[in-house]
A and B are shown apart, each in its own frame.
Chain A
Amino acid sequence: MIAFAGLLERLLFTPGRNAKIALMRRYFSTQPDPERGIGLAALTGDLRFAAAKAGLIRELAAERTDPVLFALSYDYVGDLAETVALIWPAKPTNHAPPLLSEVVETLNTTPKAELPGVVAAWLDACDPSVRLALLKLITGGLRVGASARLAKTALAECGEGVAPDDIEEIWHGLTPPYASLFGWIFADAPKPDPLDAPVFRSPMLAHPIAEAELAALDPATTRAEWKWDGIRVQLVSTPGGRALYSRGAEDISAAFPEIVAAMDAHAVLDGELLVVRDGVVASFSDLQKRLNRKTTTAKMLRESPVHVRLYDMLFDGAADIRALPFDQRRLRLEAWFARVQPKRMDLSEQIAFSSIDELAELRLSARAASIEGLMLKDGMSAYLPGRPKGPWWKWKRDPLSIDAVLMYAQRGHGKRSSFYSDYTFGLWRGEELLPVGKAYTGFTDAELAALDTWIRNHTTARFGPVREVERGIVLEVAFDAAQLSPRHKSGVALRFPRIARIRHDKQAAEADQLETLMALVL
């Protein structure tokens, strides 16, 4: 528990990806089994135990502390578990802090009535940092400053020639404390076999296409499809179970139960998750309402019904067809679809075209906000993990753009922590500027340094890490789509906004009106 608490504390404060990986690598390579496996499960959110209630720790604290001093302390710290971890007046004890495995095991086997005594004894044996990790863990409030993907990446780097995807592809067939996984990474044990478990396969991704590459395409062997603005998903249904994954290998089954229910034939499919009402694809902001949820309500299922538009097939039954050419996989997918007739799914339309010019016109004519552009795939391409250059291209619609006024700037993170690099910009409504979005990419290092200096010299107010600046910089902001959003004061939200140019030639008063942007909402 000591090593785990130390890891959690460092992860929480460490902004850099590589530094987080280094911290986790050290943990995995220095901790014994099963501790490191339980720790890994805690990092990836796969630890299951009967959590204690927050009320339990409140009662424990009340037994040992003065109520006035506790209230003043809680008021100052603002977090119950942290207050208790810091204020806990430990009784002298000969016990060592518990092992992480011991905590999990004990929580699962101890009758509720005995829990307060057990937890109090643990708290006596620990220092404040370990107490905090312990209290957060047992009340289910553990926040890890690293994604599950990053933990797997760190573990992969501990092995020789192991890619994160290698772990990803067996992960969902494994259970804590992952003895076989650690045996494979650190010793000479064979790679664990997930058998029939519905594991994730690394998806195939596309590169943006440039002019020259576009000109080199052969219309006869190139397949075109719409690129939809939803979430790329992988549907896995095997005799061993079902799972819906994001393209980052996150299991999102719980948020979309209706899709999981519809996956009742043995296959692994690649598609786009969309909110579809009466056959019309809704904007991404509708889909956002369904994301990151552990459970769903009947109301959400009714108001934002989801649907999968199928792009590709990786497994047909038990047969791995990833090595087959795209055209053949497509035939297998069509045959499977006709046979199974799955609910809540359809096939991504293949767009007929005879020349690249014709394709260019089609791309321009697509006005639906839910279409990001075109996907161009080589009919002979195998399904390869990662982002191989050549077989698949994405040809996004030209971005829309507005000239907006820089209103607020915020410090960045990590390498950019000394720069004001996150910009909130706004448009005019009469005399008033209304914020319409935030962007933190699209400029060069030199432009960033110049903006940073300007911001420091033209600050009108400060709000913690945020500075409000004079109305003096006009930014040309590029974005993929504008969508109505009741959550924003301006009533509109931008998809993928980025800074296209700094318009030194324009005065703030010459920036666009909000109504100009409203006219771009589809």
Chain B
Amino acid sequence: MPHPQTWLKPLPEGLFCEPGGFFIDPVRGVERAVITHAHSDHARPGHQHALASAPTIALMAARMGAGAPASTQAVGWGEKLQIGDVTVWLQPAGHVLGSAQICMEYQGSRAVVSGDYKRVADPSCDGFVPVACDVFVTEATFALPVFRHPDPASEIARLLASVALFPERTHVVGCYSLGKTQRLISLIRAAGWDAPIYMHGALVAMCAVYEQFGRRLGDLRPATVAAKADLVGQIVLAPPSAIADRWARRLAEPVVCLASGWMRVRQRAKQGGVELPLVISDHADWDELLATIDEVGAPEIWVTHGREEALIHAAGLRGVTGRALRLIGYEEDAE
């Protein structure tokens, strides 16, 4: 049985599956790409042919326009395809809508590239399915034992308590347009908030794709056309770059909130002028990373990006070999 390192290779373009002739999440345009999820650092423009889950393909089309792949192939969860000499199938990664783990088997040797993932339940996407393998390729965005994400429901409770305490102000929550936004909306709805949620224009397109795939988000309205007075006491979602900048001047005495796993560390939260940090992450925290390594049972893990040193050290303590791939181009800060 060939070791995965003989057929799955880190090249400058990204991880290359040699017997299948395709790259996984390549950082520049290639002939054949398999895409884990539609975030811009994983799904780059300019590919000739891309294979991914149906939601990922729809999200890529909505986000890229002319840069979208020339041809695409959507594949359902667990549906096995033969590409060259490799059997390929996708399993949900639980990161954002459509996010997939790429499972590959070649001559009895199995590798799983998990992309970005989380293990905690998320009403806005399908949950992670562990797949036993010989090499598990993992992210390490929050791979330090200081990162233990709290229950997201308790963070939403803090947001709603603040809305109640400051009824004369507008709460503006910074969140990335794909994934975090829709998860926040789902969590806010689950906490019983049925009122309209107002949105920055940059978040609208991704929400429409979620709706198209049956993820109900409730009454969403554009913040851009709403009068200042209409936004008093309301929740507004916007990209992190807008919440403390000129765009936010339209809001009534905004309480600036930011939903991100980085909010766990105070200095980091304070830097951005955030008034209410919400620790809500779409990446696995330290405990989830280790639990996943245990569950998939791989004797070896490869770490794509993040704090690989700590994760490889911790894997070593469990008798699992770790290797840093040092792939270039993935943004660890975007969350």
The one of A19, A23, A72 in contact with B310, judged by C-beta atoms closer than 8 angstroms, is A72
User: Which residue of B has the minimal Cβ distance to A412?
Assistant: B273
Which has the most chain B C-beta neighbours within 10 Å: A26, A69, A415? Answer: A69
Which has the most chain B C-beta neighbours within 10 Å: A13, A411, A415? Answer: A13
Q: List residues of chain B with CB within 8 A of the CB of A413.
A: 273
Determine the main DSSP class of A at the interface with B.
helix
Residues of chain B from 262 to 283 with CB closer than 8 A to chain A in the complex: 264-267, 269-271, 273-277
Q: Quick check: is A210 within 8 A (CB to CB) of the other chain?
A: no
Interface string of A53-92 (1 = CB under 8 A from B): 0000000000001101110110011110011001101000
Q: List residues of chain A with CB within 8 A of the CB of B267.
A: 77-79
Q: List residues of chain A with CB within 8 A of the CB of B165.
A: 22-23, 26
Measured CA separation A408–B270 after assembly (Å): 21
Residues of chain B from 151 to 196 with CB closer than 8 A to chain A in the complex: 162, 165-166, 169
Q: Quick check: is B307 within 8 A (CB to CB) of the other chain?
A: yes
Q: Quick check: is B1 within 8 A (CB to CB) of the other chain?
A: no
Q: List residues of chain A with CB within 8 A of the CB of B317.
A: 66
Measured CA separation A335–B264 after assembly (Å): 62
Residues of chain B from 296 to 335 with CB closer than 8 A to chain A in the complex: 307, 309-310, 313-314, 317
Do B146 and A76 have beta carbons less than 8 Å apart? yes
Measured CA separation A14–B270 after assembly (Å): 10
Determine the main DSSP class of B at the interface with A.
mixed
Do A77 and B166 have beta carbons less than 8 Å apart? no
Interface residues on A, range: 35 or more
Q: List residues of chain A with CB within 8 A of the CB of B274.
A: 13
Do A13 and B275 have beta carbons less than 8 Å apart? yes
User: Which residue of A has the minimal Cβ distance to B248?
Assistant: A418
Q: List residues of chain B with CB within 8 A of the CB of A411.
A: 244, 273
Measured CA separation A26–B162 after assembly (Å): 11
Q: Quick check: is A128 within 8 A (CB to CB) of the other chain?
A: yes
The one of B148, B166, B246 in contact with A22, judged by C-beta atoms closer than 8 angstroms, is B166
Do A13 and B277 have beta carbons less than 8 Å apart? yes
Interface size on B, residues (CB 8 A): 36
Report the minimum CB–CB distance from A65 to chain B (whole Å).
Answer: 7
Report the minimum CB–CB distance from B38 to chain A (whole Å).
Answer: 29
User: Which residue of A has the minimal Cβ distance to B244?
Assistant: A417
Q: Quick check: is A127 within 8 A (CB to CB) of the other chain?
A: yes
Q: List residues of chain B with CB within 8 A of the CB of A22.
A: 165-166
Q: Quick check: is B245 within 8 A (CB to CB) of the other chain?
A: yes
Measured CA separation A14–B310 after assembly (Å): 33
Q: Quick check: is B145 within 8 A (CB to CB) of the other chain?
A: yes
Q: List residues of chain B with CB within 8 A of the CB of A127.
A: 150
Measured CA separation A406–B328 after assembly (Å): 39
Between A and B, 18 residue pairs with Cβ closer than 8 Å are: A10-B276, A12-B266, A15-B273, A65-B145, A68-B313, A69-B145, A72-B307, A72-B313, A73-B146, A73-B310, A77-B265, A78-B267, A82-B266, A89-B145, A127-B150, A128-B264, A411-B273, A415-B253
